[in-house]
Amino acid sequence: MKTISKKNLILTLVLASVLVVSTSAKSMAIDGEGNAAGACIRISTLASTNDAAVTEHMSLMKTNFANRLTEIASRQAEVDQKAATFRTNIAAKFDKKVSELKQQSGLTTDQLTAIDTYATNMKSAEATREAAVDAARSTYRTALAETISAHQQSLLGAATAFEAASTAAFATAQADCSTAAMTTLKETIKTARETLTSVRESSKVGQTVKQLADTRNAAIKAADEAFAKSAADYTAILKAVFIQ
Amino acid sequence: MNPQSDITPPVQDVELPAQQPVITPQPQAPTPVEPTLSPIAPKKSKKALIITITVVILIAIGVIAYFTLTNNNKMANDMNVSNTQNTNSTNTPVIDESKLTPIQKEKSASLEAVTKILTDGINNETTVTNTNDSSYATGSNTAAGNVGSSINENNF
């Protein structure tokens, strides 16, 4: 009695195991078909979503480029306007002060002549300085525009290449629509981004722009110092006559 | 007659030696005696010279003293200007302000103020002119980077 029960139990367990294994295998076959279909749908969804995202950022990038050019042009116009105002104002103040000098009582003819000579020389020195400063500024702006144009072309080319690579990768994955296609898609997108990053790194112009500005500033400083030297000389010459 | 005896021998011209003049030694003239100068004469000349020089020096000192006393202010001003008008390598007068009179200092300051109008204006202009556009580069690069970041394959 006890022995029969054990045999029945073993048989029952074996049958139950066979049933479980059989059911699991059938279930696994059904899930495989479902995954393939799901991946196809998911790739299609990712394609539309990411294509839209890339298109949007491409548009934002182009707008950003245009805005920066506008900002630089606006800043340059502002600089020109301020510089012109400064020059007009100091020229008027200078003329007024020179006129006051000449109106002092008791000045000799030699002293009046010396004041006129001083004023003429100072204005000439200032004109020379302004020409040098304007030239330095113009040279800087031309070089800056060329640098920015080349930089933006480089970035635009790299971003466009990334956009084309990602679009092609999604199209390929959608056509394949297999589980392996997702892996290939990921790798292609990653490689395309790395290429874009590489171009961004190699085309950085921050240091170039800084060097251009340094060159401009050095030229302006030299022009200012040359003017200061001339102004000191002309002032000393006038003093020698004026203070007697 | 002996013909030979008829032959009169030619008279030979015999050149007689010239008679040497007889030099009679002349009596030597007495050596002139240098007249000795009287010691009184040079003493008078040196004294006159010393007196002349002394007078000239005194006159010079007097002239200098005269100008110093009567034209002291003008001379002082002139000396200030001349002392300060050393020239540098470009022949520009170098004014030593410490040697100027108060009035001269005031005039000097008024001139400096005129010059300062231009130099200050230039400094202001330069401050505005020296823009920094390097921020452009960073912004553009970020914008391009956003294109690449618009897809995140890790979320696929």
Chain center to CA of A63:
12
Reported pTM: 0.66
Cβ burial A85-124 (10 Å sphere, 16+ → b, else e): ebbeebeeebeebbeebeeeeebeeebeebbeebbebbee
Domain spans, chain A = 41-242
> What's the pLDDT at A41?
86
All residues at 6 or more sequence positions from A98 whose CB lies less than 8 Å from its CB, including other chains: A115, A118, A119, B114
Q: What is the pLDDT of residues A78-125, one digit of tens each?
A: 999 999 999 999 999 999 999 999 998 889 999 999 999 999 999 999
Averaged pLDDT, groups of 10, chain B, 156 residues long: 45 48 48 47 73 87 64 45 49 79 88 92 87 80 93 85
Stronger pLDDT, A3 or A219, i.e. the higher one: A219
> What's the pLDDT at A27?
41
> What's the pLDDT at A34?
53
Residue B65 in tokens: 């003293």
Sorting pLDDT into bands at 50, 70 and 90, what band is A16? low
Least confident of A66-75, A109-118, A160-169, B132-141: B132-141
B140 lies within 8 A of chain A by CB: yes
Identity at B145, one-letter amino acid code: G
Stronger pLDDT, A217 or B21, i.e. the higher one: A217
Which residues on chain B are in Cβ contact (under 8 Å) with A244? Answer: 77, 81
All residues at 6 or more sequence positions from A42 whose CB lies less than 8 Å from its CB, including other chains: A182, B156
**Mean pLDDT confidence for A64-84:** 93
Residues 155-214, chain A: which have Cβ within 8 Å of B? Answer: 155-156, 158-159, 162-163, 166, 182, 185-186, 189-190, 192-193, 196-197, 200, 203-206, 208-210, 213
> What's the pLDDT at A126?
96
Dist. CA A58–CA A50, nearest whole Å: 12
How far does A177 lie from chain B, in Å, by closest CA?
A: 14
Sorting pLDDT into bands at 50, 70 and 90, what band is A35? low
